[in-house]
Homo-oligomer: A and B are copies of this chain.
Amino acid sequence: MSLIEPRTLKGFRDYLPSAMVPREHLIDTARKVYKSYGFLPIDTPALEYEEILTGKGGDESDKQLYRFEDSGGRKVALRFDLTVPLARFVAQHSHELGLPFKRYHIATVWRGENTQRGRYREFMQCDFDTIGSESIACDVETALVIHDLLQAIGFDDFKIHVNNRRLLTGLLERLDLEGRSGAVLRALDKLPKIGPEKVAEEMATSAGVSAAQAREILTLASVSGTNDAMLAQLEPLVASSERGRDGLGKLATLLGSARAAGVSDKRLQLDVSIARGLDYYTGTVFETFLGALPTIGSVCSGGRYDDLASLYTKERLPGIGASLGLDRLLAAMEELKLLPEKPAVAPVFLPYFTESRLTDYFKLAARLRQSGLGVEFYPEAKKLGNQLKYADRRGFRFALVVGDSEWEAGRGQVKDLKTGSSASVPLETNGAVSAELLAALTASH
């Protein structure tokens, strides 16, 4: 029989332990932070009816959808994000869930994207959202969760950029340019590249914006400085628009509350240039950048939306949330050399020498595990050198070497595989693991 070539599909990849150990750690960290704010986990099926998923994320998403007919003739598709399934989920279960509903969802999504740009067709999303409340308290909390997430993962130098789309929509409303925010935003997006004059030209062509109107819009778009200075500069620009004042007030509350909760202005920055999608978000928006690697793009983004599930229910469900770009963050951490090189998950390696002592090895390992220490026992009584090579490759912290003479003497050699030092300690005292052994195997330096 000829062999089948073992390979993965283009755009898909295996996670070896060296990648999977930090990935699991990242997921655990995210869960802990989400839980510390009362977010609850949910899960939804990977496969949904096609009609649930299409027409929600836009044409681009529809094209990227993995869709097919199942053997029962149903048109089905793999989810491409966690927001559309959340909308369906909340519409379906809202009475059981109660509002406000705070959920996190960490799961795989699939997109048949062009893989040229180092993108993958299968990746993990890590979302949290609060549904059913328009209170600014939720916006504050979203900023705090993003902050605590990045900090808990181990980053010190990062910046959350925050804006409120009502600043611009308020201004446009006052300028009688309501409904043209899409075209205006598309032009403004090019500001760093083409400069204010060309942007004004484009706004004139695409949105009928006059020179005077363009001046006001460009003044708003160029506000910068400290958070307090920006709030002061923005005030006169939006003063005559109720919507603008509301947006500005919310930003001020958000920045003040986050400061009270211990988030420094170095880490939370008002930035009028971020908009996050042209139509979806309606209020507060967030993007997050790493100081050491800003070019990788935002690693945690989100914002407030007016209505989550209007495709599936007449109940109005406003909310706010954000998504941690787990795989992008992992790639960044790899580039910044923040990941451990070796994937050992148990600290103690126990080589196997004396075949007649197999039960004793198991007894010893079991007792160490009962003391809370992870122990990997090598399954074959090979040469010590081979076994230690394996241990080194896996990155164990300690080897506990017990051979013939050690069993006789009731002692073991604890080898510190980092420092190379070694110590002989008694294995047990009064029928339990000795304190010396535990101390030697938990030493940290």
Contacts and interface: CB of A to CB of B under 8 A. Distances in A.
Interface of A: 1, 3-10, 12-17, 20-21, 23-24, 28, 31, 35-49, 51-52, 66, 68-72, 74, 76, 88-89, 91-93, 96-98, 100, 102-103, 108, 110, 112, 122, 130, 133, 135-138, 140-141, 144, 148, 253, 256-262, 309, 311-314, 343-346, 349, 352, 358-363, 365-366, 369-370, 373-380, 390, 393-394
B42 A20 contact: yes
22 contacts: A3-B311, A4-B52, A4-B311, A6-B89, A7-B52, A9-B45, A9-B47, A13-B45, A17-B40, A21-B40, A24-B31, A36-B346, A36-B373, A38-B375, A40-B345, A40-B394, A47-B66, A68-B68, A100-B380, A141-B379, A253-B358, A256-B359
Contact of A345 (B39, B361, B376, B393): B39
B6 A313 contact: yes
A98 B378 CA distance: 13
Contact of A46 (B46, B135, B312, B352): B46
Contacts of A51: 4
B70 A41 contact: no
A47 B122 contact: yes
Contact residues of A: prevailing secondary structure: mixed
Contacts of A393: 98
A87 B373 CA distance: 30
A51 B76 CA distance: 22
Contacts of A16: 42, 93, 96-97
A156 B175 CA distance: 72
A258 B374 CA distance: 17
Contacts of A69: 68
Contact of A14 (B8, B23, B43, B141): B43
A91 B5 CA distance: 9
Question: Most chain-B CB neighbours within 10 Å: which of A68, A69, A137?
Answer: A137
Contacts of A349: 38
A141 B261 contact: no
Given A359-B257, A363-B260, A20 B43 contact: yes
A13 B46 CA distance: 10
A72 to B, nearest CB: 7
A37 B375 contact: yes
Given A40-B343, A96-B16, A379-B130, A35 B374 contact: yes
Contacts of A37: 346, 369, 374-377
A52 to B, nearest CB: 6
B6 A52 contact: yes
A10 B345 contact: no
B362 A258 contact: yes
Contact of A93 (B14, B36, B137, B352): B14
Question: Most chain-B CB neighbours within 10 Å: which of A7, A36, A262?
Answer: A36
A157 to B, nearest CB: 20
A4 B259 CA distance: 43
A362 B260 contact: yes
